[in-house]
């Protein structure tokens, strides 16, 4: 209760501070009251959803996630504007103190706020506010196809030019637009890849979330098959189940759904992809994540049926597994495919110039292709979204990787 009261007090304090800028920037009283009213309504909606809305353990329900998204947008607007206003207030205070101490003025009088600074503060604050709203309205379905060519010395000749499509982190429990998802499925099929890999987190919590979308995802096509693994959300660990049996049944239901969709679910096991008599090893591990995440992945068990000199593709949901275990393993894993981070669904990416997201402070390998000790990993930015119901700058990703053999070897 104390934390709630503290948050509400800070929220209104920031709001009051920001509204002073509106008073300086505009003399239209209705603007002042409109912004104040919207701010109060957004907070009230969030509190209502938190108190009476349905929830799924540590994962927000859909109405709750939108309420939280709106609150985040308003808070971003307030915080950015206050950075400018507070900086000016420090200058105003120092200026008044100097005039008082130096004898220029007999009284301690703060100079008035400068209108142009208030307007600039509000204008700049509108950028993250608008971006977060755009991310909720359109950004979450702004699917991008990212293509990479990776060259290996020991790739079998028969697999030169072999094309892989990877998707990850579907999070079907967050979807709210059938038309947009159908478009994304068509976009995946348009790549006409030889094989399709899904690297975990089909749902937020429960297998039932995927049932309305199963027929749509069953339309995914790949000549050499569709393969999948589990992510941390697929185990149902973030829900308070009535009994262990119901939790176990949920996982079985999800496994059966994956089969219905056409995925070959690999659980600490391996397969071979064959082409004209040559083969490459496909390895799939259950979720293994650093820190408090589930560590069901058993790499030794997963590779027990393959040869050490095979060309290897590893499916592992969490990139921390690659960093902490895979890279230093006795075997050489040519390519690992992961997801999990979502790129935090927020950041700035301009190819060849900047690639940044706050998630980089948590994960060293958080989006795109990385190489270490001659081994590659692709961290997919995710197909869906979770928590904040949108994406800003880090768009939903369909990865297409073409394997190349080094012509000099």
Kindly report the CA angle at 240 between 237 and 246, in degrees rounded to 5? 80
How is residue 200 annotated by DSSP?
S
Residue 104: pLDDT band by 50, 70, 90 thresholds?
A: low
pLDDT at 34 over 90: no
pLDDT at 220 over 90: yes
DSSP per-residue codes, 326-386: ITTSSS--SEEEE--SGGGGB-EEETTTEEE-GGGGT-SS-SEEEEETTEEEEE---SS--
How is residue 398 annotated by DSSP?
E
The two three-digit tokens of residue 73, written as one number? 């947008």
- Beta strand 348-350 pairing with 397-405: unpaired
pLDDT at 289 over 90: yes
Q: At what angle do helices 2-25 and 29-52 cross, to 10 degrees?
A: 160
pLDDT at 55 over 90: no
275 forms beta bridges with 278
Residue 407: pLDDT band by 50, 70, 90 thresholds?
A: confident
Taking phi first (over 0 means left), then psi (-120 to 50 degrees means alpha), and beta for anything else, what does residue 261 get? alpha
Residue 125: pLDDT band by 50, 70, 90 thresholds?
A: confident
pLDDT at 52 over 80: no
Q: List the single range of 208-217, 276-285, 351-360 with lowest mean pLDDT.
A: 351-360
pLDDT at 211 over 90: yes
pLDDT at 338: 98
* Phi, psi (deg, nearest 5) at residue 128: -65, -35
Residue 217: pLDDT band by 50, 70, 90 thresholds?
A: very high
CA nearest 368: which of 384, 349, 386? 349
pLDDT at 213 over 90: yes
- Looking at the chain, the whole-number percentage of residues with pLDDT higher than 90 is 66
Ranges of beta strands (E only) in 91-130 are none
Q: List the single range of 54-63, 133-142, 263-272, 309-318 with lowest mean pLDDT.
A: 54-63
pLDDT at 108: 61
User: How many residues belong to the chain?
Assistant: 409
What is the average pLDDT score of the chain?
90
* Phi, psi (deg, nearest 5) at residue 282: -115, 120
The pLDDT tens digits of the residues spanning 290-330 come to 988 999 999 999 999 999 999 999 999 999 999 999 999 99
pLDDT at 165: 98
Spatial neighbors of 392 by CB under 8 A, at least 6 apart, are 131, 132, 134, 135, 139, 345, 346, 347
Interval 185-190 mean pLDDT = 98
Q: How far apart are CA 74 and CA 35, in angstroms?
A: 10
Q: List the single range of 11-15, 217-221, 333-337 with lowest mean pLDDT.
A: 11-15
From residue 398, alpha-carbon distances to 141, 165, 379, 381 in Å are: 12, 7, 11, 8
The pLDDT tens digits of the residues spanning 139-183 come to 999 999 999 999 999 999 999 999 999 999 999 999 999 999 999
CA nearest 346: which of 322, 373, 381? 381
Task: Please give the domain boundaries of the chain with CATH numbers for all domains.
Answer: 2-137 (no CATH), 143-405 (3.60.21.10)
pLDDT at 53: 67
Residue 114: pLDDT band by 50, 70, 90 thresholds?
A: confident
Sign, CA dihedral 166-171-174-176, equals positive
């Amino acid at each position: 209760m104390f934390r709630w009261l503290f948050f509400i007090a800070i929220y209104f304090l920031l709001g009051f501070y920001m509204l002073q800028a509106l008073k300086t920037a505009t003399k239209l009283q209705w603007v002042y009251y409109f912004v104040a009213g919207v701010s109060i309504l957004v907070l009230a909606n969030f509190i209502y959803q938190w108190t009476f809305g349905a929830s799924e353990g540590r994962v927000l329900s859909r109405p709750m996630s939108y309420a939280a998204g709106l609150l985040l947008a308003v808070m971003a607007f307030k915080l950015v504007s206050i950075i400018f206003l507070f900086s000016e207030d420090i200058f105003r205070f120092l200026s008044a103190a100097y005039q008082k101490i130096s004898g220029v003025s007999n009284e301690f009088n703060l100079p008035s706020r400068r209108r142009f600074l208030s307007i600039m503060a509000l204008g700049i604050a509108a950028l993250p506010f608008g971006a977060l709203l755009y991310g909720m309205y359109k950004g979450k379905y702004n699917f991008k196809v990212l293509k990479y060519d990776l060259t290996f010395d020991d790739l079998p000749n028969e697999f030169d030019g072999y094309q892989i499509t990877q998707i990850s982190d579907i999070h079907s429990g967050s979807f709210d637009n059938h038309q947009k998802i159908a478009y994304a499925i068509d976009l995946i099929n348009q790549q006409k890849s030889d094989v399709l890999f899904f690297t975990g987190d089909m749902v937020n919590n429960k297998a039932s979330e995927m049932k309305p979308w199963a027929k749509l995802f069953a339309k995914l096509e790949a000549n050499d098959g569709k393969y999948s693994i589990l992510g941390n959300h697929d185990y149902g660990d973030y829900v308070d189940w009535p009994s262990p049996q119901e939790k176990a049944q949920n996982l079985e239901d999800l496994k059966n759904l994956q089969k219905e969709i056409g995925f070959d679910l690999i659980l600490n096991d391996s397969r071979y992809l064959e082409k004209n008599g040559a083969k490459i090893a496909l390895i799939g591990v259950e979720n293994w994540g650093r820190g408090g995440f589930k560590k069901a992945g058993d790499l030794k068990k997963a590779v027990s049926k393959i040869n050490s000199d095979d060309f290897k593709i590893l499916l592992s949901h969490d990139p921390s597994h690659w960093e902490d275990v895979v890279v230093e393993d006795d075997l050489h894993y040519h390519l690992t495919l992961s997801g999990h981070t979502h790129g935090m669904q927020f950041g700035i990416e301009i190819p060849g110039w900047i690639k940044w997201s706050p998630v980089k402070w948590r994960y060293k390998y958080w989006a795109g292709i990385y190489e270490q000790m001659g081994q590659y990993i692709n961290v997919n930015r995710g197909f869906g979204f979770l928590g904040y119901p949108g994406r800003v700058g880090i768009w939903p990703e369909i990865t297409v990787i073409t394997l190349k053999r080094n012509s000099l070897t």
